[in-house]
Each structure stands twice: as C-alpha cells, then as structure tokens.
Structure 1
Amino acid sequence: MFIFGNPRRRNEILAHEWVSLRMLWNAAKEESKSSGESAVSEDEVNRVGALFPDEIVWQSGAREWHDLNVAAQEVGRHLSTAQLRTEFALLLALAEQRKLSNYDVHTQNAPLFAANSEAELSQMRSAYMALLDDLQRWFINTRFKRHLRHQAAGTLLFVGVVVSLITIAPFIAFFYLFYNDYEVDGAIVSAAKGYQLFSSNPVFGLVMVAAFGLLGAYFSRIIMFQGQIATLEFDDVMISYQARLLYVRLLLGMLGAFVFYFLLRSEIIAGSAFPDLSKLGIGEQIVWKTTAAGGMVAVADRVPDPSGLTILMPTKELAKLLVWSFLAGFSQTLVSDTLTQRSTQTDI
C-alpha cells in the first residue's frame, strides 16, 4: 500500500511476536506471585513493562527487531520453571529446524529441563538465555545476509543496464548510419548492403569488441551471483560485488577482448573457428518465402519473399568475432592462457 508515495509495509509476524511475548510476560508475573519462586519486584515489573510498545508494531526494520530481542531477553530472565521447560523445548525445536551451528551444544542442556530434574532455576535460566541469544544472533545474521544479497543485486542490476546500453549502442549507431550512403574506394555504397566495419571504419568495430568484452565479464559475475545467492557471505560481497571491484572485472573483460582481437589481427591465432577480419560487417539478409502452412521451403527451392523484405544482420565473420570477444571477457584465463601457450611455443 502506498500513501503519498511512501510505502507502508505491515509485518504481521513482528506484531504477533510482541503479542506472544506480552502474554508470556503477564504469565511470568502471575507465576512469580503465586509460586514464590524468585518473585519479581515492582521496580522490575515497571522496568520490563516499559520495554513493550504502547501500540501494535507493524514496521519490520532493524530497530523494531532489536527492541523485540531486548524485551525477549529481559522476559526470559524472569520465567518460571514451568515456562522455561516449555519455552526451551520450543526454541530447541526451532534451532533444529534452522540448523543452528551449535545445536548439539544446546541439546546437552536439555536434561536440565526434564520433569525429574533437580537443576536450580538459575541453571535453567542460563541455559534458556544461551539458546535464545544464539537464535537471535542467527536471525540477525540471516537478515544481514538478505540485505547483502539485495545490495549486491541492486549493484548488478545498475551495472547490467549500463553494460546492456553500451552493448547495443554500436548497433543503434549502425542503424542510424544505414540511412546514409558512403564512398568506399571511390564507389558509393549503402551501409545496408554490407558496410565493412573494420576496413572502412575500424574504430566503429573496435567499439563492438570492447562492448562484448564488457558483456562477457558482466555475464560471468551474474552467473556466479546466481550460483552463490543461497550461500552468499559478507566476504563474497566485498570481494566480488562491490561497485569498484566489479568495475575492475569489467575493465579486465574489455582489455581481454582488445588483446584477443589483436591476437586475431596478427594471426598469432587462426583457424576456421576464428573470424576472417577482412569480412566483418553488417548487411541485408533476404527473408525467404514460406509455405502456406507456415513452414520453410526446401533450401533448393527457396525464393525471396514477394514483399522484398530484408533484415539487417551481422555477417557470419562478425558474429564469430563478437562471440570470441564475449568469451575473452567472460573467461579470466582465456587470453592469459593463450599468451602463455604462444610464448612457450616460441620460447620467449
């Protein structure tokens, strides 16, 4: 629900926790009066009672959960023997469900709460408070990790939008150039007829190489983030998803794509899997006529669509270059391994 642009989120879980804690506190006060078991003084009743909010707490911020945790610890210090037995069993079951790291340690205190136990009230309260504190710490860490994931996802989203715009910018620029004719080697040609990016405008093509190197580097981080999202820790965010370190990774991807291009240009690496840099461009592709049923006509019988419709597409060689630029940015070792292999072969 939004009022005047400000979100108001209601958390029923937090409100219910306060209600349950208040009922537990009221029962503890009554128990102390009737049993004579470590009776709660009037000053203590007033002090603990002041921790409870006057109105229902619906907001679910860090401050609200902190206040609830403080109140729960104060109430826990005044629980009766019967209440401690019930509450410890509930918390222990919750600790098992949440797979608390030191769950086994707390199970060793379970005999203190047995019906035939002769444990003192102070021992039971200490064991209960230790378990309560560990669970609260677990929930705090869980909320902190959730916040880290949201923060990392926000950074990746922003960077992803920027990288996507950079990647498509050369194509948008080309489509703008498509509406003009150019003089290449004394002849007037249309960009749509196969404008050779590197031979006629090398800088334009190198921008594509850099853009796809950035895209590859960003894609590697997205893949890693998706694989770590359930187990993301503080160190992971600091090492891999901080803005500055993410920019360094993108820079590495862009430089890797540049170096790989010059390895291709120098023919240090070559083969059918690599592009022919003399045939890089974007040109018109014919749209072939389809059958009445919507299927494609056999290759031998294909004829152009009567409408004369054509589409602009990268040439096969340009597509190869962009794929290799992407891979050079995606892999942090592709370029370095290639350089190492070639230097070993030439005994540099």
Structure 2
Amino acid sequence: MSTSPQPVSGFRRKFCWSASDEKNEVLAHEWLSLRTLWKATRPSVTDPAVQAAVDDLFPQETWKSGPEEWHKLNAAEQTIGLVLIEPQLTTEFMILMELARSRKLASLAQHETNATLFEATDESDKAMGRKRAAYVALLDDLQRWFINQRFIRRIRGETASRLFIFGLCVMGISILPFVVYFLIFSLPFYGSSIPPNDIAKGHTLFSSSPVFGLGMVSAFGILGAYFSRVMRFQMNIQTFGFEDVVTEYQPRMLYVRLLYGMVGAFVLYFLLRSGIIGGTAFPDLEKISVGEHVVWHANPTGVSAAHDGTMDPSGLTILNPTADLAKLLVWSFLAGFSERLVPDTLDRTEARSKNGDHE
C-alpha cells in the first residue's frame, strides 16, 4: 500500500528542484514488497497470459517519485489483489484494515462488515470472488485517501508560497508611505528647510493636507487584511483543504480581500475626520504628525532631553510618530483585519440617523 507523500510544490518546482527527480526509498520499498507478494502468488496463476501481464507491471527503475510512478504502483496493487490466494488475501486484508482504522476512513463501517468474509477459510470460487472484491474495495479506498492527502499537502505548500509572495508585496506597500514621509521630511517644508539640531520639529501634514493620510491609512488597511488571511491559514492548517483554496486563497480572492481591507480603512479614516466616531481610544487627527528628534551626546550624568549649551548633537536624528498617528494606524489595521468593524460601524451610524429622523 503506497503511503508516501508526493511533494510537488509549485514554488520548489520553479525555484529549487523537481521532486519527481528525487529518489524515493519508500516507493522503491513498496514495489519490492509487491514483487515479493507476486512471487509467492505467481505459481498459483495457471494462465501464462495473466502471468506475463502482471510481470509487465513491474518497472525496471523504481526510484522515481512522480505522479505517474505512484499511479502505476496503485494499478499494480489492485491487479495483483485480484489473483491473490486465500492465505495471502486474508493477511493483506487484515493489514489494510488496521491501516484503515488508524486513518478513520469514512467508509470504515462497510469494510468492517466485509471483514466477516475472512473469518472462514472458504476457498470456493464464490467465496474467493467476494473476498477479492472486498480486498480491492478496501485497497481502492485507502489509495484514494492517500492520493487526497498528497493533494492536500501540495495545495497547502503552494498556498503558503503564494501567501509568502503576497506578504513581501504587502510589506513593501506598508513601508512605502513612511519612505515618502521621510523624503518629504528631508526636503524644504513651506519654503524653509528644517533648522539644524531642532528637536521634535513635527510636520502636521495630516491636518494641513488631509489627503496625505490616505496613503498610510490604506497601506495599513491592506496589511490588516493580509494578516487576517495568514492568521486564518495558520490556525486552520490541519483542516485546510481544496474548498479553502478555491473560496479564499486563489489570487483573485486574495486581491478582493486586500481591496476590501483598503476600502474599510479608507472609510474609517473619513468617519474619524467627520467626527461621526471619536473618543479617547480614537486619534485626534489635528495632532497627527511625525517629529524629527535629535539624538544628543551622552555625558557622565546621562542624556539630556534639551540642549542646554553643554552638549552637542550627535548628528543623528530619528523620526518618531505621535501617539495619535500610532492610534490611526492601529485602527486602520483593525479596519482591514476585521471584516465586520466598518460595516457594523456604518450600521450603527445608520440606526442613529433613523432614530434622529423619527425624533
């Protein structure tokens, strides 16, 4: 019975190596076991044509591990199962039954019923026909289960590779607004350059140019949407299957989810700016800025927070977002991460509006 996984990840196939070119000891051993079983059964097969047909099923090279090689092994196992003699048939069936129980096959109850056929050593043609049919049915179910497991492992690997590539792109998009902000900080602002050694000189671009904030807000909305998909993938990895890929992890579905997160953060930004939602947990958009802080030389007593003439600036500066900017980015992330945050907020806003109309 073939049980080895067949790793055919698209990422590995494209960027590393082809798994079908690897030597697979498990596959070779499966062929060896099947050949040994056939050698014990062959003398009982009286038809030379059947003997020759089964002999031709065994390949000269058994190390390759591609889909075609596993298919040939499965076909050979089923063919030989139809000519096994009674002692071998019963032994092989019981071995497969233990495997089926450990894998908890969906059709296990039916195979348990068929197991009663092997309790008697009846070797009549009718009894042997039923036993062989039961054996092949169990073998086929197990083969299908292992094929499905290999397929699931493959799509999990391909989905992880896809999420990795998407993650690199999303991280680049998230960092881009900060790069632009840094470049603006380095250029003259309102006709004058930033004074040298000026500490905490904050540019209030969000309050003076509201549209400027949409870049960071949208980027963090996309980041939140991406994080929600990655987290769901990690949490459901054991049950992840084909339906999950089709409904949530195809490239088009990921694009839609990222766009949904960006629009959600976009809408939340204007809800904040309009004053429809607010409070201490929400940012004050009038105070959103990024300050340039000078790093001062240390003296024996520590680092001073102000230049008192006794210390010189180190020549290093850092950009430090205000608490309100941090709040805005966190809420933008949450708007992208949660699929219900913005819709629920809009529903509550609509409900308040209707209640106000009735009053």
TM range (shorter): 0.7 to 0.9
* Deviation at residue 205 of structure 1 after TM alignment: 2.0
Q: Deviations over 1:185-218 (max 9, x none)?
A: x765469722223134444321100000001111
Give the stretch that moved more between structures: 133-142 or 96-105: 96-105
Q: Deviations over 1:127-159 (max 9, x none)?
A: 111100000010111111112212222221221
The one-letter amino acid of 1:317's match is D
Structure 1: unaligned runs, 5 residues or longer: 33-38
Q: Deviations over 1:255-293 (max 9, x none)?
A: 00010000000000011111111111211346699999x
Of residues 9, 20, 28, the one that matches 2:33 is 20
Give the stretch that moved more between structures: 102-111 or 160-169: 102-111
Larger relative contact order (CA 8 Å, sep ≥ 6): 2
TM-score by length of 2: 0.84
Question: Partners in 2 of 1:291 and 1:160 — Cα distance?
Answer: 43
Asked if structure 2 preserves the Cα contact closer than 8 Å seen for 1:287 and 1:304, the reply is no
Of residues 114, 122, 127, the one that matches 2:129 is 122
The number of residues matched between the two structures is 328
Of residues 78, 101, 116, the one that matches 2:106 is 101
**Percent of residue pairs identical:** 52
Asked if structure 1 preserves the Cα contact closer than 8 Å seen for 2:288 and 2:322, the reply is yes
2:139 is matched with 132
Q: Deviations over 1:205-238 (max 9, x none)?
A: 2110000000111111111111221111221111
2:87 is matched with 82
Question: Partners in 1 of 2:17 and 2:337 — Cα distance?
Answer: 40
Alignment CA distance shift 1:40-1:202 (3 Å)? farther
1:35 is matched with none
Of residues 41, 47, 50, the one that matches 1:41 is 47
1:264 is matched with 272
Give the stretch that moved more between structures: 110-119 or 331-340: 110-119
Question: Partners in 2 of 1:217 and 1:312 — Cα distance?
Answer: 26
1:242 is matched with 250
Give the stretch that moved more between structures: 42-51 or 187-196: 187-196
Q: Deviations over 1:40-87 (max 9, x none)?
A: 4111111111111112x2222211111110011111111110101110
Structure 2: unaligned runs, 5 residues or longer: 1-12
Q: Deviations over 1:17-53 (max 9, x none)?
A: 11111111111103x1xxxxxx341111111111111
Question: Partners in 2 of 1:40 and 1:342 — Cα distance?
Answer: 84
Asked if structure 1 preserves the Cα contact closer than 8 Å seen for 2:291 and 2:322, the reply is yes
1:303 is matched with 304
The one-letter amino acid of 2:47's match is S
* Deviation at residue 118 of structure 1 after TM alignment: 6.6
2:283 is matched with 275
Partner of 1:182: helix, strand, or coil?
Answer: coil
2:148 is matched with 141
1:112 is matched with 117
1:177 is matched with 184
Asked if structure 1 preserves the Cα contact closer than 8 Å seen for 2:285 and 2:324, the reply is yes
TM-score by length of 1: 0.87
* Deviation at residue 331 of structure 1 after TM alignment: 0.8
Q: Within the alignment, does 1:73 sit opposite 2:78 as a pair?
A: yes
Asked if structure 2 preserves the Cα contact closer than 8 Å seen for 1:286 and 1:304, the reply is no
2:8 is matched with none
Of residues 299, 319, 322, the one that matches 1:315 is 322
Q: Deviations over 1:104-142 (max 9, x none)?
A: 211112222225557721111111111000000101111
The one-letter amino acid of 1:284's match is E
Partner of 2:222: helix, strand, or coil?
Answer: helix
Q: Within the alignment, does 1:53 sit opposite 2:59 as a pair?
A: yes
Q: Within the alignment, does 1:150 sit opposite 2:157 as a pair?
A: yes
Partner of 2:319: helix, strand, or coil?
Answer: strand
The one-letter amino acid of 1:212's match is F
